[in-house]
């Protein structure tokens, strides 16, 4: 249907593009797109605001709180690690100390078990008993020891040895001489055995089961330093025969007072064997 330049088809109005209503089409389209453009701009602004909100940094107060928490955690961690290191060092020191004490008593056990009844002459020519100890003196424990291995070409076996346990400046020392009857210029070989030792006490158990604070006991002291045996028929006597058979204890009790562990006691038995 056509009426006044307007074509109508099935109830819809169509604009005749040849008429004056041609310029109204862009205006209608522009007016219909304006609300859509405004909505797009509003959404873009909202998204930018949300992005800016997400990219916002810490405030000064939040930063101070975070630093304070980090400092506390760091201090706790450092304290825990330091405690672990100190505990490990303490455990290692205690283990080393235990090993040193055990080694000291083990060496004493070997020496006392191999004690032999053989007196000597010192550097001044004076006779000394095979085992000697004074209760309130600084001499320490002196004895003749057997069982020392000789590694010399053309000669094998064992030999006697003179040794001395003494306490000096809080340290326990072990002196040894390569020969028994030593000369005036023969110096001992000294070895530090244990440190932090305050005192050393020794007691002796005789064959009758009596304890003595000194050795030889008073009733056997003169016998230990008795006269020399004279050679017969002008022959030179055996050096060991110049000394009488000396009484030896059945056991030796040693007390060590340590600065860190207190008072320790060990009882050593003497081997009754006659071999060197």
CB of 30 within 8 A of CB of 23?
Answer: no
CB of 265 within 8 A of CB of 253?
Answer: yes
**Half-sphere exposure of residue 187: CA atoms within 13 angstroms, side-chain side:** 3
Whose tokens are 């860190």? That residue is 260
Judgement on whether residues 101 and 178 belong to the same structural domain of the protein: yes
Beta-sheet pairing, 131-132 with 141-152: antiparallel
Domain with 181, as residue range(s), is: 97-269
Per the structure, how many domains does the chain have?
2
Judgement on whether residues 50 and 102 belong to the same structural domain of the protein: no
Quote the pLDDT of residue 63: 86
CATH of the domain at 202: 3.10.610.10
Judgement on whether residues 48 and 103 belong to the same structural domain of the protein: no
Quote the pLDDT of residue 13: 45
Quote the pLDDT of residue 30: 46
Task: Return the SS3 of 21.
Answer: helix
Pick out the chain residues at pLDDT < 50.
Answer: 1-26, 28, 30-32, 156, 222, 224-225, 227-232, 234-244, 275-276
Q: Is 274 inside a domain boundary?
A: no
Q: Is 8 inside a domain boundary?
A: no
For residue 114, which of 177, 163, 178, 151 has the smallest C-alpha distance? 163
Judgement on whether residues 39 and 171 belong to the same structural domain of the protein: no
Whole-number Å distance between alpha carbons of 271 and 251: 9
Judgement on whether residues 144 and 260 belong to the same structural domain of the protein: yes
Quote the pLDDT of residue 78: 87
C-alpha distances in Å from residue 203, one per residue of 128, 189, 255: 19, 26, 9
Helices marked H in the chain — which ranges? 24-54, 60-113, 221-224
Q: Is 36 inside a domain boundary?
A: yes
Q: Is 73 inside a domain boundary?
A: no
Quote the pLDDT of residue 49: 61
Judgement on whether residues 112 and 216 belong to the same structural domain of the protein: yes
For 178-210, write each residue's pLDDT tens digit: 888 888 888 889 999 999 999 999 999 998 899
Judgement on whether residues 52 and 102 belong to the same structural domain of the protein: no
Whose tokens are 């009857």? That residue is 181
Judgement on whether residues 113 and 46 belong to the same structural domain of the protein: no
End-to-end CA distance of the chain: 148
Q: Is 91 inside a domain boundary?
A: no
Q: What is the dihedral of CA 143, 145, 151, 157, to 10 degrees?
A: 150
For 32-63, write each residue's pLDDT tens digit: 455 555 557 766 666 666 655 565 677 888 88
Judgement on whether residues 43 and 170 belong to the same structural domain of the protein: no
Whole-number Å distance between alpha carbons of 240 and 229: 10
Judgement on whether residues 123 and 213 belong to the same structural domain of the protein: yes
Helices marked H in 114-152 — which ranges? none
Judgement on whether residues 150 and 248 belong to the same structural domain of the protein: yes
Judgement on whether residues 227 and 133 belong to the same structural domain of the protein: yes
Q: Is 177 inside a domain boundary?
A: yes
pTM over 0.75: no
Whole-number Å distance between alpha carbons of 174 and 162: 11
């Amino acid at each position: 249907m056509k009426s006044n330049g307007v074509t109508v088809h099935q109830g819809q109005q169509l604009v005749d593009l040849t008429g004056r209503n041609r310029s109204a089409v862009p205006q209608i389209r522009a007016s219909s797109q304006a609300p859509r453009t405004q909505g797009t701009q509003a959404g873009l602004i909202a998204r930018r605001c949300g992005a800016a909100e997400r990219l916002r940094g810490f405030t000064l107060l939040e930063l101070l709180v975070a630093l304070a928490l980090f400092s506390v955690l760091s201090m706790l961690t450092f304290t825990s690690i330091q405690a672990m290191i100190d505990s490990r060092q303490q455990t290692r020191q205690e283990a080393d100390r235990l090993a040193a004490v055990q080694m000291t008593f083990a060496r004493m056990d070997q020496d006392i078990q191999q004690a032999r009844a053989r007196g000597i002459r010192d550097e001044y020519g004076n006779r000394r008993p095979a085992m000697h100890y004074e209760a309130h003196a600084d001499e320490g424990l002196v004895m003749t020891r057997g069982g020392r291995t000789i590694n010399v070409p053309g000669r094998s076996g064992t030999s006697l040895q003179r040794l001395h346990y003494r306490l000096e400046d809080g340290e326990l020392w072990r002196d040894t001489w390569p020969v028994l009857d030593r000369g005036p210029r023969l110096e001992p070989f000294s070895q530090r055995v244990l440190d932090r030792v305050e005192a050393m006490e020794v007691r002796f158990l005789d064959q009758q089961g009596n304890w003595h604070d000194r050795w030889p006991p008073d009733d056997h002291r003169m016998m230990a330093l008795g006269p020399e045996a004279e050679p017969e028929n002008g022959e030179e006597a055996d050096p060991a025969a110049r000394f009488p058979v000396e009484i030896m204890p059945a056991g030796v009790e040693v007390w060590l007072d340590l600065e860190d562990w207190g008072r320790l006691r060990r009882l050593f038995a003497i081997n009754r064997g006659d071999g060197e």
